[in-house]
């Protein structure tokens, strides 16, 4: 499973997602569209760290790193992780 698919599945199944899974595209602005909020971002961070065996550093806690599924995947993949 790709990084984006894994993140999409997590958001669709584990968060209280108001968007149907077929509309949860890689570029959907998750914060702007209120798909995720500040609490959900921390749930996503926990997921990313455990699923992809990475550490999200304090300086990476920027809205642009969590704005979309593709932004989160870039953050993960940029740490040299292709998935688990």
What's the pLDDT score for residue 82? 40
What integer pLDDT is reported at residue 48 of this predicted model?
97
- The pLDDT, as a whole number, for residue 22 is 85
Long-range CB contacts for residues 28-31, cutoff 8 Å, separation at least 24 = 28/68, 28/69, 29/67, 29/68, 30/66, 30/67, 30/68, 30/69, 31/63, 31/66, 31/67
pLDDT at 1: 84
Domains of the chain (ranges, CATH numbers): 3-78 (1.10.1200.10)
Tokens 């959900």 — which residue? 40
- Quote the pLDDT of residue 46: 97
What are 69's two structure tokens? 């599924």
pLDDT in tens, the chain (84 residues): 899 999 999 999 999 878 888 899 999 999 999 999 989 999 999 999 999 999 999 999 999 999 999 999 999 999 874 444
Name the token pair of 24.
């949860």
pTM check: above 0.85: yes
């Amino acid at each position: 499973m790709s990084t984006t698919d894994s993140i999409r599945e997590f958001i669709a199944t584990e968060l209280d997602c108001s968007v149907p899974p077929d509309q949860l595209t890689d570029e959907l602005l998750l914060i702007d569209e209120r798909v995720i909020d500040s609490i959900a971002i921390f749930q996503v961070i926990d997921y990313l760290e455990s699923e992809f065996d990475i550490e999200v550093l304090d300086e990476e806690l920027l809205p642009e790193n969590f704005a979309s599924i593709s932004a989160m995947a870039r953050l993960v993949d940029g740490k040299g992780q292709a998935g688990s």
